[in-house]
Amino acid sequence: MDRLYVSVLTSKTNLPVPQFKSTRPACSLYNPEREALQFAEQTSPADIFLLLGAGAGYHLKELSARFPDARFLVMEASEDDINFLKQTMPEIKRLSVMPNITIFPEDELEKMLLQNYLPALYPSFSVLELRSWCSERLEHTVEIRQKIKAVLEKISCDFATQSHFGKIWQHNILKNIPAVKDIKNLPLPVNKTAVIAAAGPSLDETADYICRNRKNVYVISTDTAYQPLRRRGIFCDAVVSIDGQAVSQNHFAGTIDAESLFIFDIAANSQAVRKTAENGNQIIFSTSGHPLAELIQHINGKKSFFPLTSGAGTVTMAAVDFAAKAGFSEITVLGADFGYTGGKSYAKGTYLDILFKAGENKLRTFETTFSALQYRSPLTRISAKKTTTKLLESYRISFEEWADQNGFTLENDSEIYILHKREKDKAVAMPLNQSSIDIVRLKSVAKEFPAYKDFRTEEYDRSSPFQTAFLPFIAYLRKKEQYSSRPYKALQNLALDDFVLYTKLL
């Protein structure tokens, strides 16, 4: 794109002022410093600011002086504009190297917000607009505001998930550490077709596909589909579980096939992990990027967890990703309805059948509870037999995007998804290796952990596992009324105390 700034003007106070290509100045030509001071004085406090337009830097100078502990993300139109301002505006050159200020081009807006706006670290967020900058590109500014809104919604959703599960995840991770055992190059029959079994209603009709092709398939069940398949006499070669909630242990009620391989997220329910380990099953632990898991691997000095993506957060996506990374080039997915088929929420035989049946009475029947499950969100009818929701539709889109991004063609044949690795993207298996956790070393590091260091006083380094490890737990604390107004340092220390306590129990 064309550069927004074209030359430099001089104010009456003998200060440089950048000029837009429309010939208008980026700030006052009379007294830009006074204008900047008034701007800062009218600005309410926040922990992190997004400033649209850097201009001459006078506004940013006053803001950073007024809010010295705040983080500033400053957006400019392009990299060329940033370079121009650094070369011609002394304040921009000076401010651009400050640790709490980042100046970036517009095409990096989403990435910058996702990387830097962490509500657990920065509770309050504010968008500021340099009026002259926005007026110069008035129509485009509307698009920018919409993009900011969309990214903030994504961040809000992620924060809501962390605030709900942050404590559960941290406790599960630490409780699951003793179950992590050494595994070296675990072989899988990748010449077969990997069949992923999700627990959608269509599994009732398509499960027979496994029986017809049993010798030629490697069955990877999601945790919810495990009981429905076992009730049909179908052996699961592998089972994937990522949910940390206590209710997920119900997927494995009763007998577990000792020959099945289990793939648990390291933050998965610890009771389910313990039962499986005591049963003698081999367990591969995975991670979808929880920062505490990254810290533990950092302390251990080895990669102990198999990296998996769960897309929009579904176990089905995690199971498909495991199959692809294990080296399967042919993958078939059953029971991935991404909706309610035939008025049903799940296949027959899931733990919900037992749970809802046990809780039914004359006023709330088994069917009433399942109906409530469906109608908790607005439904959209997509065929005579099928409805969906906005959330379930997002899962489908995430699944299709994953297939394309990972080099798979995708077909949907009567509720059976068939994925085929493109020739140019032939499957390359990641070795299934796992290193046990050195618990003595972990406890030693926990004792010396910088429990009273306030990372907000320094440049925040997202790549440091020591700085990111406890953000989900802090997000959980932020949502609690008794902790919501406490400073970040106090919440960080609570999270660290919890970490130290649980490592002592290992």
At residue 452, the pLDDT reads 41
- pLDDT of amino acid 370: 62
Q: How far is CA 140 from CA 135, 137, 154, 325, 490, in A?
A: 10, 5, 22, 41, 41
Residue 292 to residue 503: CA distance in whole angstroms: 13
Tokens of 439: 């618990």
| pTM for this model (two decimals) | 0.85
Task: Name 411's Cβ contacts closer than 8 Å, sequence gap at least 6.
Answer: 417, 418, 420
Q: What is the pLDDT of residue 426?
A: 72
Query: Which one, of 37, 256, 140, 231, lies nearest residue 241 by Cα?
Result: 256
Are 53 and 129 within 8 A, CB to CB? yes
What size, in residues, is the chain? 506
Secondary structure of residue 467 in the 3-state scheme: helix
Rounded CA gap, 39 and 42, in Å?
A: 5
pLDDT of amino acid 379 = 80
95-154 residue pLDDT tens: 999 999 999 999 999 999 999 999 988 999 999 999 999 999 888 899 999 999 999 998
Longest dimension (CA), the chain: 86
Sort strands 261-265 and 238-241 into parallel, antiparallel or unpaired: parallel
What are the tokens at 114? 């996702």
Q: In 10 A of CB 383, how many CB atoms?
A: 9
SS3 at position 301: coil
Residues of the chain predicted below pLDDT 50: 451-460
CB 294 within 8 A of CB 465: yes
CA dist 51 and 95 (Å) reads 13
Q: What does 217-239 look like in DSSP terms, one character per residue? A: EEEEEEHHHHHHHHHTTPPPSEE
Q: Are 88 and 55 in contact (CB under 8 A)?
A: no
Say what the pLDDT of residue 451 is.
47
Q: Which residues does 139 contact at the CB level (< 8 Å), separation at least 6? A: none
CA atoms within 13 A on the CB side of 218: 23
Coil, strand or helix: which one is 462?
Answer: coil
Give Cα 24 distance to the centre of its chain: 43
Q: Give the number of other CB atoms < 10 A from CB of residue 218.
A: 22
- C-alpha closest to that of 57 among 78, 76, 77, 80: 76
Q: What is the pLDDT of residue 119?
A: 92
Cα 251 to Cα 276: distance, rounded to the nearest angstrom: 11
| Helix residue spans in 327-452 (DSSP H) | 351-358, 366-374, 390-405, 439-448
pLDDT tens for 253-306 read 888 999 999 999 999 999 999 999 999 999 999 999 899 999 999 888 888 899
pLDDT for the residue numbered 460 = 47
Q: Is-contact 193 213, C-beta < 8 A? A: yes
Strands (E), 260-327: 261-265, 283-287, 306-307
Residue 485, CB-side half-sphere exposure with 13 Å CA sphere: 2
For residue 238, the cross-strand partners are 220, 261
